[in-house]
Structure 1
Amino acid sequence: MVGAVLTQNTAWTNVELALERLRDNCALDAEAILAIPAERLAEALRPVGYFNVKARRLSAFCEHYIAAGGFEGLSALETDVLRHSLLGVNGVGPETADDMLLYAFERPVFVVDAYTRRIFSRLGLLDGGEGYEEIRAAFEMALAPDVPLYNEYHALVVRHGKDVCKTRPGCAECVLRACCPAA
């Protein structure tokens, strides 16, 4: 869940650096993160960019996490209630909340990210004007509510978006080029 907060607007490699710096401070659980002085926490998060903002957001999430009874308390909530609870935390938006729901709480909630939007817009399946919730609902209607399926599907979308369907697409190497109007 820490990674979900830190990965906003940055590459995962930067998050890994910040997580290593937190480990060096013995701080990967909520109580330990909150025990770190704000300046030191921000410095540990420097690799992710916007480190002062992310330090405040991570602290807000950790406070919420503890107040809600930790993983056990949050896990006991129904998915919709849990999502609403996460969205109530400063700095946790729909993508971050859904990332936590799918990967940490193993709930069948599809994560929509920039890769999803890019790939499916190029395929002509999105027109670009759809909101996050509309896209998420469409995926959840099209796919069975299956956590391993959503995990794998999202991982494949991310991989394809990073490796092939980049900002400048590599259409020549794309397995979808035959059915992609943008190819």
Structure 2
Amino acid sequence: MIGTFLTQQTKWSNVEKAIGNLRRAGMLEPYDLAKADITLLERMIRCCGFYRQKASRLKNAAQFMIENNMDELFKLPMDQLRKILLSMNGVGNETADSIILYAADKPKFVIDAYTTRIMGCMGVEGNYEQLQEMFENLLPHDVGMFKEYHALVVEYAKSYCGKKRCNECILVNGHRKGTVHGQKQI
């Protein structure tokens, strides 16, 4: 869950540094994070940008999870859990869905900037909910598969989109030819 807050508007490599700092300080559990000194917490996550805002949100989220028994929250039906998560300060669709998929182990497909960018390059436009619905309608509702697909999208986009290698992208080039991996596009 910590990673979902820290990754907002930053690179994962910076999140890994911050999580390493938190791990060394013993602040990866809600109780430890909730009682952490805010200034110390800010210093440990500074590499992620927006560190004051993120430190405050992390402390608030940790306190929320303690007060509402995180294990019981994660047992709630997915729609109910999502509504609760979205009510928290600093939690939008992507953060809520990441928590649902990765922390609660429930099948919710995460749409991030990489997914939106890749889909747009392939000519598939839509807002968060439309793209999510498309993936969830086309794929089996399997937590492992959703995690794997999301990770593959992120890794692929980091290799091509983040480095402006569009001319090498098989997804874009396949789209231009009318096929992706030899199949007609939908």
TM-score exceeds 0.5: yes
> Which of 159, 162, 183 is the matching residue for 1:163?
159
- What is the CA RMSD across the aligned residues, in angstroms? 1.6
User: Secondary structure of the equivalent of 2:170?
Assistant: coil
Partners of 1:157 and 1:95 lie apart in 2 by: 14
Q: Deviations over 1:131-153 (max 9, x none)?
A: 21121112111212111111111
1:42 counterpart residue number: 42
**Residue 171 (structure 1) shift:** 2.2
Count of residues paired in the alignment: 177
1:147 aligns with 2:143: yes
**Residue 86 (structure 1) shift:** 0.8
The TM-score normalised by the length of structure 2 is 0.89
Contact conserved, 2:34 with 2:62, CA < 8 A, in 1?
Answer: yes
**Residue 175 (structure 1) shift:** 2.8
User: Secondary structure of the equivalent of 1:8?
Assistant: coil
Aligned residue runs from structure 1 range 4-153, under 5 A: 4-70=4-70, 72-126=71-125, 130-153=126-149
The TM-score normalised by the length of structure 1 is 0.91
Contact conserved, 1:87 with 1:97, CA < 8 A, in 2?
Answer: yes
Provide structure 1 residue ranges, at least 5 long, that are not aligned to the other structure: none
Contact conserved, 2:7 with 2:48, CA < 8 A, in 1?
Answer: yes
Contact conserved, 1:122 with 1:181, CA < 8 A, in 2?
Answer: no
User: Secondary structure of the equivalent of 1:180?
Assistant: helix
Q: Deviations over 1:26-79 (max 9, x none)?
A: 111011011111111111111111100000111111111111112x11122110
Contact conserved, 2:34 with 2:60, CA < 8 A, in 1?
Answer: no
> Which of 164, 172, 176 is the matching residue for 2:171?
176
**Residue 167 (structure 1) shift:** 6.1
Question: Identity of aligned pairs, percent?
Answer: 38
Provide structure 2 residue ranges, at least 5 long, that are not aligned to the other structure: 178-186
Contact conserved, 2:7 with 2:15, CA < 8 A, in 1?
Answer: yes
